[in-house]
A and B are shown apart, each in its own frame.
Chain A
Amino acid sequence: MIEVENLSVRYGTAYAARDVSFFVARGVSFGIVGESGSGKSTVLRALAGLSREWSGTIRVGGETVAPVRDRAFFRRVQMVFQDPYGSLHPRQTIDRALSEPLLVHGIKDIEPRIAAALAEVALPPDTRFRYPHQLSGGQRQRVAIARALMAGPEVLLLDEPTSALDVSVQAEVLNLLSDLQEKRGLTYILVSHNLAVVAHLCARIGVMQGGEMVEQLTADDLRAGRTKHPHTEALRRLSVELEETDAQHGQAA
C-alpha cells in the first residue's frame, strides 16, 4: 500500500531524515519509534504532504506521489495529530469540523454521514452541536479520528495519537483504532515515542535515530528482545524496566 524509498528531508545542510525506506502492506500497521529529533515525525509529515523539501520516492497504492499532493491523495490518506485541542477549530462546532472534509471532496449525504461517523467512534449523537472545549481530551481525539475518516481514506497517519491522553482514555482510543482497522481494512502508520503503544498496535516497527531508520523488526521480536541495533535494545530495556511494578522492584527499593 505504501512504499517509501530513500526518503531524505534536508533543512539547509542538516538532514532531518536520511535514506529512509520501508514498505507497508494494505490493512497492516507500521510503527515508527524514536526519541524527539530522531526524524520520525519528519518522515510522517513528508508522507502526508505537509513538507515539500524531500527527495526520494513515495508510492501510495502503486502510484508515485508528487511533492504537491492533489485532492485525490487526501481522499486516500488522512492524518491524526497528537493534540486534539490544537487540531480542532475552537470556534467551530463538531458538526462543522466533520462536514468540512465532505464539502471539500464534494461528498453528498452530509447529514447521515455525520451521524454515522459519530456512532462509529462511539460518541453520543448530541456531541454534534458542541464545541471542542465542551468535550474531554478523549472525546476530542475521537472527533479527530472521525474527521480523518469522513472522506473514507485507506491510510491513516497517526502522530502520537494518545500521548496527550490519560492512560485509561489511551486504552479506549487504541481499542477504537484496532476496531476501525479491522472493520475498514485501514492501513496505519503510527509514530510514537512509546514503545509499548507502538508494539500493541503494529506488527512491524521501524526504529529511528538521528534521522536514519536503524532497524526494522516485528513486534514479536521486539517483545522477545531479538534486536539487532543497540539503540533498539536501549529503548526496549528502558521500556521494560519502567513497566515492572512487581515484587522484584519492591525488594530492590
Chain B
Amino acid sequence: MEVIVDNLRIAFPSPSGKVEAVRGVSFVLGQEKLAIVGESGSGKSLTARAILRLLPRAAIITANALRFDGIDVLDADESTMRRIRGGRAGLVMQDPKFSLNPVMTAGAQIAEAWRAHRGGSRKLAREAAVDLLAQVQIRDPGAVADRYPHQLSGGMGQRVMIAMMLAPDPELLIADEPTSALDATVQAEILRLIEDLVQRRGMGLILISHDLPLVSHFCDRVLVMYAGRVVEECSAGELARARHPYTRGLLECLPILSEKRRRLAVLRRDPSWAAA
C-alpha cells in the first residue's frame, strides 16, 4: 500500500470567487506513521479526507496525482471508492459521541462493519466483534459489546470506534484528532493503542492533530501545515530542531509542566508563511 499525493489543491466556490483551502500539498506515505499538524482551518483534515474522497460536495479538488495503492482516487468510480473507504482505509474521528450510532449496541455496530466488508453469519460477526473489542484492550469485551454508546465513557467509545475500523483489516488508518475530546491520561492510552495496532498489523497511519509535541511521540514523520500548505516536514525525533518560525511558535506557545513560563509566547503570524 502506498499513498501518493502530488500537488493536491482543494477549493470552495464563494461569492467572491474560488477560495483555496489546500494549496499544493504533496507527500508519499508507505507503511509508516505520519502526523499532519496544524491549527483549525489549516487544511489538515481536508488533505486526509481527500485520500478517501470524503469531501463536501462543493469542493473542487485537483492534483497532479492522488493515488491509493495505485488507484486514481480522482478518477475512480463510486463502487471502487466504497471498497477503499472503511475496507482498505479506516477513518477514526474526533468524538465517539457523534460518530457512533446511539440506538445500536457497540457489538452490533462492529459486527455490522465486519459483515459489510467480509460477509459471514451474524454469529460469526458477533464473535469477531467481541474479539476486536478485546484487541483494543477492553477488559470485559462480552459485556461492553451489549452496551449502547451512552453507556460508554469517552475513552471506551473511542476504542469501540477503533475496533470498528479494524474489522475489515485495513491497510491504512486515518485518525482525525482521535483524542482531542479525551482526558490527558486516556489520550495517551488511546494513542499508544493506535501506535501498537498499527505496528502489529503493519498498517500505515495518518494522525491529524493540533498538538505537536503529543503526536511526535507516536509518529515517525511530521508534516506541519499552515494556511493550506506544508510549511515544514521533519522526522518526529528532530522536532526540537524545527526551523520554521510557525513550527517553533507552536512549540513555544504551550504551557509546560517541566518549566515555568511567566508569559506564554504568542504566535506572530507572518503573511509570508501563507505566501505560495
Query: Which residues of A approach B to under 8 Å, CB–CB?
Result: 35-37, 136-137, 166-172, 174-175, 178, 193-197, 199-200, 219-220, 222-223, 234-236, 238-247, 249-251, 253
Contacts and interface: CB of A to CB of B under 8 A. Distances in A.
Main secondary structure of the interface of A (DSSP, over half): helix
Contacts of A172: 266
B255 A168 contact: no
Given A178-B263, A196-B257, A250-B238, A238 B250 contact: no
Contacts of A219: 260
B238 A175 contact: no
Contacts of A35: 183-186
Nearest to B263: A175
A245 to B, nearest CB: 5
B64 interface: no
A96 to B, nearest CB: 26
B28 interface: no
A244 B186 CA distance: 18
A166 B257 contact: no
Interface of B: 39-40, 153-154, 182-186, 188, 210-214, 216-217, 220, 235-240, 249-251, 253-261, 263-267
A167 B237 contact: no
Main secondary structure of the interface of B (DSSP, over half): loop
A243 B237 contact: no
Given A195-B184, A199-B257, A168 B39 contact: yes
Contact of A236 (B182, B249, B257): B257
B239 A171 contact: no
23 contacts: A35-B183, A36-B153, A37-B153, A167-B253, A168-B266, A169-B39, A171-B253, A171-B265, A175-B264, A175-B266, A193-B183, A195-B257, A199-B257, A223-B260, A235-B185, A238-B185, A239-B184, A240-B258, A242-B188, A242-B217, A245-B251, A247-B237, A253-B236
Given A35-B183, A200-B255, A238 B238 contact: no
Contacts of A171: 253-255, 264-267
Nearest to B264: A171
A243 B213 contact: yes
A238 B240 contact: no
